[in-house]
Chain A
Amino acid sequence: MNALTPFLDNLNALAGGLFLLCAFGMVATRQARGCLNWFILQSLLLAASAFLLGWLHHSVHLFGVALVNVVAKPVIVPWILRRTAPAEIYTRREIDQALNIPTSLLIALALVIFAFFLAQPLAAAVGPDFRGPNVPIGIAGLLLGAYTLTVRREAVPLIMGLLAMENGAFLTGIALARDLPMLVELAIATDGLIIVVIVGVLTRAVEQHVGTTAVGELASLRESAAETTGREGAE
């Protein structure tokens, strides 16, 4: 505890609020490029929050988390995406989301309120030391990421949705589980990068063989449609 504590707390709350805003941004943006930018900003805010909490609680682990987030997500993720996924994905504008944007934002708002309800008993159980905006906002980030995944159809926003879910889990994690071993933190960060590689390669394959990156529209596999799809397997 020092004189800076309230100030740092407030700064952390600010970072949390902006983090949530980025999640909204991802729901609302139509361009793949914009979605990527929101994600980068969100990761930086996650790093900021980790740094501030690390300062507050004198935890070297959290500095590590902050560093990993600054390096892995804003720098390496876009780099990998550019190498694996086809380049013209970035310029593409997603015309038809499953729901229009105002409706999406309303649902997102409802999810955030829901997240605050969910967080209350959790935050109460872990003790006063852990109160703060991280737990509810992390849950909200997780839910909004999942929501992005369900309404988006283009590949890049889908990848961002996946990584945003992880960001959300992490934002809660740095408050709830701040003594997680460093090895684990590193492994989780690496894992995020592997996600981008694999899904990027998959996107390229879809684009090459199917001719679209609107992967959400691939929906031929079900019992009734088996007649048309079943034949290709033998090749």
Chain B
Amino acid sequence: MSVLIILLLPLLAAVLACVRGHRLWAPVVTVAANLAGLTLAVRLVWATAAGHSATAVMNFGLWRWIAVDGLSALVLLLVAFVGATASIYSAGYMAHGDLKPEKLRLYYANYNLFIFSMLAIPVLAEPTLVWIVVELTTLCSALLVSFDNTRAALEAAWKYVVLSLMGAGVALFGFLVLFAAMQATGGGVYTWGGLVTAAPAMPPVLLRTAFVLILIGLGTKVGLVPMHTWLPDAHSQAPSPVCALLSGVETTAVLYVILRLLPVMQAAPGLRAGTWAMALGLASAGTAAFLLLQVRDYKRLFAFSTVEHMGIILFAAGLGGAGGSQGAVMQMLSHSVTKSFCFFAAGAALLTLGTRQIASVRGLFRSSPAAGAALLFGALAIGGAPPFAVFLSEFSIIRSGLVQHRYLATLLLVLFITVAFFGIMRHVNRMVFGRPEAGARGSLAAPVPLPFTCRLALLLSAVPVLVFGVWMPDSLHALLRQAAQTLVSP
């Protein structure tokens, strides 16, 4: 039941946010709904980690399409967590500009619908329904990307919508072929679990076609190279809390759908889906790492880093085995929490300085210590410096690559991660350290102070970034183990 409440909460909040009221009404409702959702999600995760399937009782009628296992509980938790921190961040960030009340209400209503669509991805287990909610994530976030209504933001939103929906069309075809493959085995329940069971008997041609189509179609939305062209635009032009959602969890949630197909492909003999995933993952990580070097806009910097990390996760999942799968789910966790923090930090810098140009920011540390420290912290964490969560997950991926004797591929991955690290640090160092130049935009006489809720959200989301690098609660550890098992074919 709690699954349904988790889904209904954001819908309710979306309706309530539309109600005319005090200026604080919509943000308060949104924050409350998202915090309640997070609490329920954490309880669900505990139950799942302890081995109680929360959804077993609902195995009839329409409810059989709702199922939460280890992997989907992980994605659910990530969406709920970033949804909650980003809603807190929004409260201060969106109040800053002089927005009209109805525009603000629209923002929060849209925000909650977007959260709903993302929460529905892991909860649903019927692939075509999952396709629909993936499509909904695009549609619900399109107007958030274009929210500023500047020429650049509108252009980014158009590219985002057209390319994502184009990909969705291809993916729909893939899912229909997958359904046909399922029917060819004589039926069965068309869910993720049912697919794994039926996979050995499916015609390989259909399964392979479906996988390629879905990989291309949904890969567009994940931002895999060469379908990534829209991603840096959309993920940099949206308001910063939305960027955190787009980059932190939307990509991960869609990648989750692709990862769901890997055990199906493994169950069928003779289809080397893992190798394809590794190749595409490496291509994404490599291209993004080198593109990172030449950005001029610091939000685009983090957007390219998302492409890189999606590549790393896909690589790890393609590597497979216990080690690779464990690395992939850990990387999903660490990337989501870290990247959302990075965009909060970037938003803080944007708010205080009013520019996104790396070149026009100097000595942020002096002009605004909080924003400077946050940006440096985020850059180190997402680049994979030692005490942070990303370091741990990247390290375990590299180790399992070496254990499985994939030396060349692992070497390339190490190279790309290193290039990306230096790329990020080079840009962020320029911005954070040094002396504010006279006349440069970074040296505004009185930088805008950071709103309280922004500081609070930064602080809250910094906790897992730091803590998961050194210690992880037992229940979360158990959840990650379960999630990794879901990725490996029985």
Contacts and interface: CB of A to CB of B under 8 A. Distances in A.
Interface residues of B, number: 58
A231 B355 contact: yes
Contacts of B357: 226-227, 230-231
B206 interface: yes
Given A121-B205, A165-B169, A215-B158, A226 B297 contact: yes
B350 A234 contact: yes
Interface in A180-212: 180-181, 183-184, 187-188, 191, 194-195, 198-199, 201-202, 205-206, 208-210
Contacts of A220: 151-152, 155
Given A201-B143, A210-B151, A233-B350, A126 B206 contact: yes
B203 to A, nearest CB: 4
A179 interface: yes
A188 B300 CA distance: 33
B172 A188 contact: yes
Given A162-B162, A227-B357, A209 B150 contact: yes
A177 B179 contact: yes
- The listed residue with most A CB atoms (<10 A of its CB), out of B150, B153, B173, B300, is B173
Contacts of A9: none
Contacts of B350: 233-234
B151 A127 contact: no
B146 A202 contact: yes
A220 B152 CA distance: 7
A146 B155 contact: no
A198 B180 contact: no
B270 interface: no
Contacts of A188: 128, 132, 172
A199 B237 CA distance: 18
Given A165-B166, A223-B295, A202 B156 contact: no
A233 B296 CA distance: 14
A39 to B, nearest CB: 14
Given A122-B177, A162-B165, A199-B161, A229 B203 contact: no
A180 B143 contact: no
B119 to A, nearest CB: 17
B161 A122 contact: no
A233 B170 CA distance: 33
Contact of B203 (A125, A168, A210): A125
Contact of B209 (A122, A127, A184): A122
A149 interface: yes
Contacts of A172: 173, 176
Contacts of A183: 62, 129
A206 B172 contact: no
Nearest to A178: B183
Contact of A202 (B97, B152, B158): B158
Nearest to A206: B154
Contacts of B297: 226, 230
Contacts of B165: 162, 165, 195
A191 B129 contact: no
A234 B297 CA distance: 13
A232 interface: yes
A234 B354 contact: yes
Contacts of A65: none
A194 B153 CA distance: 21
A126 B180 contact: yes
A202 B132 contact: no
B233 interface: yes
7 contacts: A169-B172, A173-B172, A176-B180, A202-B146, A223-B295, A226-B357, A234-B356
